[in-house]
Amino acid sequence: MANMVMKVIGLVLACMVVAAPGAEAITCGQVVSLLAPCLGYLTKGGAVPPACCNGVRGLNNAAKSTPDRQTTCGCLKNIYSSNSGINLSNAGSLPGKCGVNIPYKISPTTDCSKVQ
């Protein structure tokens, strides 16, 4: 019995080691903290703070795979719906202002399951 437990533990450890590099899925917490400096611009417009563009670039670099982009899409929709003051035309222009090309458009009606 103890032998069996050791085997299971060994297997779990092996899987953790294999899964660790590069497989870190993005979380909504990361998306929110990367974009937190953007909230002023998103709601009121004006100049885009450099910290915000760093966040946008960081997000773009972090969300390279389809599942990560779908997660990011869902998180952005959450951010939009929980911050009623967000101006969507500002949100749409943000990537361009930061010189980032985001290959999909995110609005509150985007179907995140279609994001590639």
Ligand X SMILES: *[C@@H]1O[C@H](CO)[C@@H](O)[C@H](O)[C@H]1NC(C)=O
Binding site for ligand X (CB under 6 A): 45, 87, 89-90
**89 or 101: CB nearest ligand X:** 89
**67 or 108: CB nearest ligand X:** 108
Task: State in angstroms the smallest separation of the CB of 69 from ligand X.
Answer: 25
- Closest to 80 measured CA to CA, from 30, 113, 31, 47: 31
**26 or 94: CB nearest ligand X:** 94
Task: State in angstroms the smallest separation of the CB of 5 from ligand X.
Answer: 60
Amino acid at site 106: I
In the bound state, the residue with its beta carbon closest to ligand X is: 87
Task: State in angstroms the smallest separation of the CB of 97 from ligand X.
Answer: 11
Could you tell me the two tokens for 110? Answer: 């985007």
**48 or 73: CB nearest ligand X:** 48
CA distance 30 to 62: 9
CA distance 83 to 100: 23
- CA of 93: how far to CAs of 11, 17, 46, 55, 99, in Å? 48, 41, 12, 15, 10
Task: State in angstroms the smallest separation of the CB of 63 from ligand X.
Answer: 25
